[in-house]
Homo-oligomer: A and B are copies of this chain.
Amino acid sequence: MTETVAPPHPFDDAVELTPTNGGLYTGRTSANYANMVGPFGGITAATLLRAVQQHPDRLGDPLSLTVNFAGPIAEGSFDISARPVRTNRSTQHWALELTQDGVVATTATAVFGTRRDTWSSDEISIPTVPESDSVAPESFPDFIAWARNYEMRFVEGGIPKTESAEHPNSTSTLWMRDEPPRPLDFPALTAMSDIFFPRVFLRRGQYLPAGTVTLTVYFHADAAALADQAGDAVLGTARAQRFGKGYFDQSAELWGRDGELLATTHQLVYFKD
């Protein structure tokens, strides 16, 4: 009898890094998570977070992450440097760079830290939506490879189709989960923060050249809260505030099925029309 070992989930394969020395890592782009040009921004952000998580000096769990998409990432290998800039009693600040052949493609800063019980209060609530199972999944066009690794069930603001017209607003709300399902953790939640396709696609009813310039994630859930989600669908809702002069911002919330706010996330996106 031959023992078989399950292959890793495509997500874990995509964010895998090999430590070389002193905060340096090498990784490789994954065809599974390719976008129209270069990799899906969410997988790049998750990979940078993984670099900090694997660092021997890492303190606690992610509190925030900002990723700046400075230039395209070519198919193939890349290097990541992760430097703990300052370590305090309960927080730690990181500076990261992703390079290819010595050229910076992505920069990031992250704050990690420990959490403690305090007074708590939620000021926003999970939107009232149908259960995940009662909403039909939708697919992106085939040329967007990364989207095949997610099950997305749009409650509103679905993927623009060939026949789409301008949409009155830029709000999308959807149930999302890794496909195949995978337990939720910080890298997976980070990637999901970028799952909301550029709001200008929805608003204009068409695909346009567009790409995230900078992405920030604030993590509200701790590791235990993420573990509680297991492989359940996460509810996300995103919208833009202002489009103009080649840029727009978009903000989103990611909710656990139980109504817990897991993360809030913001980005600035360039577009051409």
Q: Which residues of A contact B (CB under 8 A)?
A: 63-64, 66, 68, 70-71, 85-86, 88, 90-91, 93, 95, 97, 103-105, 107-109, 111, 115-124, 169-170, 203-204, 213-214, 216, 218, 220, 222, 239-247, 249, 251, 253, 261, 264, 266, 268, 270-273
* List of B residues within 8 angstroms of A268 by Cβ: 63-64, 111, 218
Query: Quick one: copies of this chain in the complex?
Result: 2
Closest to A208 in B: B119
Bound Cα distance from A247 to B220, whole angstroms? 8
* List of B residues within 8 angstroms of A170 by Cβ: 123
Q: Which of B85, B111, B243, B245 contacts A222 (CB 8 A)?
A: B245
Instruction: Other than A86-B104, A95-B107, A220-B244, give 18 A-B pairs with Cβ distance below 8 A.
Output: A66-B66, A68-B93, A68-B111, A71-B86, A85-B104, A91-B213, A93-B107, A107-B109, A118-B243, A118-B245, A118-B272, A118-B273, A123-B242, A216-B266, A218-B268, A220-B241, A251-B266, A264-B266
CB <8 Å contact, B266 and A242? no
CB <8 Å contact, B64 and A213? yes
CB <8 Å contact, B241 and A253? yes
Bound Cα distance from A203 to B123, whole angstroms? 10
CB <8 Å contact, A261 and B241? yes
Bound Cα distance from A165 to B86, whole angstroms? 37
Bound Cα distance from A217 to B201, whole angstroms? 23
CB <8 Å contact, B243 and A119? yes
* List of B residues within 8 angstroms of A243 by Cβ: 118-123
CB <8 Å contact, A121 and B241? no
Bound Cα distance from A220 to B115, whole angstroms? 34
